A and B are shown apart, each in its own frame.
Chain A
């Protein structure tokens, strides 16, 4: 042990320059240089290995859900994804009558039926149609995805949901649920409605009674091009 300037120095490596060993002769030789380089590389390798190990352990713990609260979840795709055990349905087409004997039809590009819950059918590229009793207009609805539940008679739509009442209006939203028994549509999502004389935006909508009642919720804004018949004719 060499005492130097009050520091306990353990001279493990004669090449290590410390401010307090200025009196030691600088006996650097080529061999010593190579050894020094090897030691530095070894030290670096040790660090790298340790870092890799720690990384592995952290990754493993994350997989276990250890940091669920802290690690931001990958935004789960909002789509209805059919379970692995589901069966494919060819040319999916569902028809039925609502409570007032009004016929409706729901078709899709593809569909899968859950084996464990056969009442649940996952639809892709959904299209629903209903002929409106009063006006005879056609109410058509399309969406990227849908989940049809024959027990609750509901159709949950998501992704580019667009509802068109021919000659009346088009509503665009992200998600909506339809109670097929009475064709009531509900959504708590932002909705934009365009009709011949204006536009309406809200953060929720309900449509029922054959599309004859529409409730816009959670703050509604809009513009209507007022038509004052008499004024226009002057």
Chain B
């Protein structure tokens, strides 16, 4: 396996899971709501679940407009792990653009699915179309989208 300029990642699971359920369950050591800055900061053992997609990280910042449930961006930092079905995506940070329905993960990104592991600098996923792109990465093993 050689360095791949850009490599597709099968994120159909993420796409389906992300587009169905609406409710988000969350937990953390502490949470601060700042209505002036319109953001919510969850700190310590953060876990958020939406449908079949589960995210854990050290910190999660939700940027919203006007109302707590009108989230615009989600920024996870530190030991970010996104699990959906048998696919596990790890990175040091992740940013979700809720309106665009896209997720970008960065720094030491690793996608594991079955016995296939894909690593890279940055992973971009479009949850509407299911398209994804890993850049600056290497592919180990064969990766066959189902």
Contacts and interface: CB of A to CB of B under 8 A. Distances in A.
B30 A215 contact: yes
B32 interface: yes
A217 B19 CA distance: 31
Contacts of A229: 70, 99
A169 B82 CA distance: 31
A176 B129 CA distance: 49
A216 B27 CA distance: 11
B23 A225 contact: yes
A229 B101 CA distance: 11
A220 B31 contact: yes
Interface stretch (A123-131, A151-159, A192-200): A192-200
Q: Which of B31, B98, B99, B101 is packed against the most chain A CB atoms within 10 Å? A: B31
A211 B32 CA distance: 12
A200 B27 CA distance: 9
A196 B24 contact: no
A221 interface: yes
Contacts of A224: 23-24, 26, 68-69
Nearest to A204: B30
A28 interface: no
A220 B69 contact: no
Nearest to A209: B36
Interface string A7-23: 00000000000000000
A213 B35 contact: yes
B32 A214 contact: yes
Contacts of B24: 223-226
Interface size band for B:
20 to 34
Given A219-B27, A221-B26, A226 B34 contact: no
Interface residues of A, number: 29
A221 to B, nearest CB: 5
B85 to A, nearest CB: 20
A215 B31 contact: yes
Given A228-B22, A230-B99, A213 B34 contact: yes
A226 B24 CA distance: 6
A202 interface: yes
B31 A196 contact: no
B68 A220 contact: no
A229 B98 CA distance: 9
Given A213-B32, A228-B101, A197 B68 contact: yes
Contacts of A214: 32-33, 35
Given A224-B68, A227-B69, A228-B98, A216 B30 contact: yes
Nearest to A225: B23
A220 B30 CA distance: 6
A198 B22 CA distance: 12
B115 interface: no
A85 B29 CA distance: 45
Given A218-B30, A220-B29, A223-B26, 18 more contacts: A197-B68, A197-B69, A214-B32, A214-B33, A215-B33, A219-B27, A219-B28, A220-B27, A220-B30, A223-B23, A223-B25, A226-B50, A226-B98, A227-B67, A227-B69, A227-B70, A228-B22, A228-B98
12 contacts: A196-B69, A197-B67, A209-B36, A212-B36, A213-B35, A214-B33, A215-B32, A217-B30, A220-B27, A225-B23, A226-B98, A227-B70
Interface of B: 19, 22-36, 42, 50, 67-71, 98-99, 101
The 3 A-B residue pairs with the shortest CB-CB distance, nearest first, are A197-B69, A214-B33, A212-B35
